[in-house]
Amino acid sequence: MKLTFAGHSTFIVEQNGHRVIIDPFLSGNPAAVHKPLDLHVEAVLLSHGHGDHTLDAEAIARANDCVIVAPNELANYFGAKGLKAHPMGIGGSRQFEFGRVKFTQAFHSSSVESESGPIYTGMPAGILLTMDGITIYHAGDTGLFGDMKIIGEMAKPDVALLPIGDNFTMGPDDALVAAQWLGAKHVVPMHYDTFGLIAQDAELFVNKVNALGLQGVVLKIGESLDL
């Protein structure tokens, strides 16, 4: 499996000729190296509605004529735009051609902005994605919660993608606890440095992860982890 960090909380996951993107935020990120319309994917997976996770979902889904997999109300929001959308609920899982998706809880909020204020888009989620026996846990935007222990026990993720930006999500100290509870072999920080409010020292975080006996890795934007 090839896991590519595309900036912020955006990841491209490739395995056996299948390719999906999680939480595409590219055109709004000056540091991004991927162009939304150049991406060839067979699904767009979304954790929640906020613009820094969904900005390029519509463009990518239209360009690829592919499905958007998202929590129920968020999927319906994109479905109403004429896009292919697959709604799921927290705790539900589904086998797709590219792999298995299961939504976990996330403690956050979920909405898209409109001219008349926020449109609520249901529950925010974390995403468990399993392709050929390798499981990625993309925590979405969330604070620390105790059931991450259960996610670790039940899903045994090979990789945990954890927000460390603080303010809107877990900060590095809580993400370190999350890493322990999840017990994933690999831990990749996300949702930091994109804007000033979430500036963090990712290398320091990863050093602390490694001191726990786990394998933390800072992926620069455009870099990949081979699993």
Q: Which residues bind Ni ion (CB under 5 A)?
A: 50, 141
CB of 1 to Ni ion, least distance (A): 26
> Amino acid identity, residue 174?
D
Q: Which of residues 98 and 145 has its CB atom nearest to Mn ion in the complex?
A: 145
From the CB of 191, what's the least distance to Mn ion, in Å? 6
Contacts of 221 (CB under 8 A, 6+ apart): 5, 6, 7, 31, 32, 33
The answer to whether 19 and 41 have CB atoms below 8 angstroms apart is yes
Query: Looking at 46-54, 81-89, 90-98, 125-133, which segment touches Mn ion (CB under 5 A)?
Result: 46-54
Decide whether 141 or 166 has the Cβ nearer to Mn ion: 141
CA 76 to CA 74: how far, in whole Å?
A: 5
Q: Report, in angstroms and rounded to the nearest whole number, the Rg of the chain calculated over CA atoms.
A: 16
Q: How far is the CB of 29 from Mn ion (least distance, A)?
A: 12
Q: What pairs with residue 218 in β-bridges? A: none
52 interacts with Mn ion by CB under 5 A: yes
Size of residue set near Mn ion by CB under 5 A:
3
Instruction: Decide: 50 and 111 in contact? Cβ < 8 Å.
Output: yes
- How far is Cα 137 from Cα 125, in angstroms, rounded to an integer? 11
Residue that has been written with the tokens 């939480």 in this structure = 23
CB 102 within 8 A of CB 71: no
Of Ni ion, Mn ion, none, which one sits near residue 102, judging by CB under 5 to 8 A according to partner kind?
A: none
Instruction: State the amino acid at position 135 in one-letter form.
Output: T
By beta-carbon proximity to Ni ion, the closer residue of 15 and 174 is 174
Which is closer to Ni ion, CB of 141 or CB of 193?
A: 141
Q: For Mn ion, which is the closer residue by CB, 78 or 98? A: 78
- DSSP code at position 86: E
In the complex, least distance from residue 151 CB atom to Ni ion, rounded to whole angstroms = 19
SS3 21: strand
- Considering only residues 23, 56, 141, 166, which one is a binding residue for Mn ion as defined by CB under 5 A? 141
Residue 165 or 216: which CB sits closer to Mn ion? 165
Among the residue ranges 32-40, 81-89, 124-132, 133-141, the one whose residues contact Mn ion (CB under 5 A):
133-141
Q: Which of Ni ion, Mn ion, none does residue 34 bind (CB under 5 to 8 Å by kind)?
A: none
Residues that bind Mn ion (CB under 5 A): 50, 52, 141
